């Protein structure tokens, strides 16, 4: 049995979604971020960052949500969600990196600044984050013009990761009103039976 540490309220959600789409059964230990479980000495042996998710498949231990999804798709999913050509696969990874570094990272910083850091949030910092997010969302919005999914005609990992990242925007209290293609795409993803609600 493959074990996944991480609750669906964390970045483990995209792994749970990918596994469900691929028909892979996981033994999910729903550890929450910054919980006593993830801070334990035992957990830090498999993930020294103390963060979730972590996948354990026999002797193989893997962290980083996107890498875990790629591993599951490649090893147990027959390459599904990874496109049909090397070019498509590279493009899918491109969008995964884009989502994580250009959207998720700034949305996370905004969340920290507005909800978790002590003191008044810095207006300059928040505006910078919103600016960077806006630029990334504009790029994504154009890429989705006239398309259901980001790469090719089928849903791929680029969509799963991107939809989770774009959905994070809503969690931070922003809206997707200025990006209708992204809003429709997020809705499309959330409507999948495999989507972890
Ligand atoms: N890049 C990592 C990020 C992992 C991460 O930041 N996980 C959060 C939960 S979504 C966490 O466990 N945070 C705990 C902490 O910051 O101490 C991934 O995608 O797996």
What does the DSSP 8-state code read for residue 150?
S
pTM for this model (two decimals): 0.96
Alpha-carbon distance of 189 to 195, in angstroms, equals 7
Domains within the chain, CATH numbers bracketed: 2-75 (3.40.30.10), 86-190 (1.20.1050.10)
Ligand 1 within 6 A of CB of 162: no
Q: What is the pLDDT of residue 72?
A: 98
54 contacts: CB under 8 Å, gap ≥ 6: 4, 5, 6, 43, 46, 47, 61, 62, 63
177: its two tokens: 């009103």
Q: From CA 69, how far away is CA 17, in angstroms rounded? A: 9
Tell me how many helices (H) and strands (E) the chain has: 9, 4
Answer yes or no: are the C-beta atoms of 109 and 121 closer than 8 Å: no
Is residue 54 within 8 Å of residue 62, measured between CB atoms?
Answer: yes
Is the beta carbon of 34 within 6 A of some atom in ligand 1?
yes
Q: What is the pLDDT of residue 173?
A: 87
Q: Is the pLDDT of residue 53 over 90?
A: yes
Q: 86-98 and 65-75 helices cross at what angle (nearest 10)?
A: 160
Q: Are 165 and 171 in contact (CB under 8 A)?
A: no
What percent of the chain has a predicted confidence (pLDDT) above 90? 97
- Number of the ligand 1 atom closest to the C-alpha atom of 66: 19
Contacting residues for 51 by C-beta, under 8 A, at least 6 apart: 33, 38, 63
Looking at residue 22, its pLDDT comes to 98
| Residue 101 to residue 57: CA distance in whole angstroms | 27
Q: How confident is the model at residue 165 (pLDDT cuts 50, 70, 90)?
A: very high
Per-residue pLDDT band at 193 (split at 50, 70, 90): very high
d(CA 161, CA 141): 15
Residue-level pLDDT at 171: 86
Q: With 90 as the cut, is the pLDDT of residue 56 above it? A: yes
Write down the pLDDT at residue 97.
Answer: 98
Q: Whose CA is nearest to atom 3 of ligand 1?
A: 64
Q: What integer pLDDT is reported at residue 192 of this predicted model?
A: 98
- CB of 10 within 6 A of ligand 1: the answer is yes
Beta bridge partners of 28: 4
Average of per-residue pLDDT values in the chain: 97
Distance CA 22, CA 124 (A): 43
Q: How far is the CA of 84 from the centre of ligand 1 (A)?
A: 30
């Amino acid at each position: 049995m493959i074990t996944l540490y991480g609750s669906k309220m964390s970045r483990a959600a995209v792994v749970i979604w990918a596994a469900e789409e691929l028909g892979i059964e996981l033994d999910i230990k729903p550890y929450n971020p910054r919980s006593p479980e993830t801070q334990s000495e035992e957990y830090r042996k498999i993930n020294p960052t103390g963060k979730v998710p972590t996948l354990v498949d026999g002797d193989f231990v893997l962290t980083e949500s996107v890498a875990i999804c790629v591993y599951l798709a490649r090893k147990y999913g027959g390459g599904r969600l990874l496109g049909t050509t090397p070019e498509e696969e590279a493009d899918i990874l491109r969008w995964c990196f884009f989502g994580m570094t250009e959207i998720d990272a700034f949305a996370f910083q905004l969340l920290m600044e507005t909800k978790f850091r002590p003191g008044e949030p810095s207006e300059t910092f928040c505006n910078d984050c919103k600016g960077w997010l806006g630029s990334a969302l504009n790029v994504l919005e154009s890429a989705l013009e006239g398309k259901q999914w980001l790469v090719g005609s089928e849903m791929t990992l680029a969509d799963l990761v991107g939809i989770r990242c774009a959905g994070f925007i809503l969690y931070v209290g922003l809206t997707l009103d200025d990006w209708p293609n992204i809003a429709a795409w997020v809705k499309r993803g959330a409507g999948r039976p495999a989507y972890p609600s």
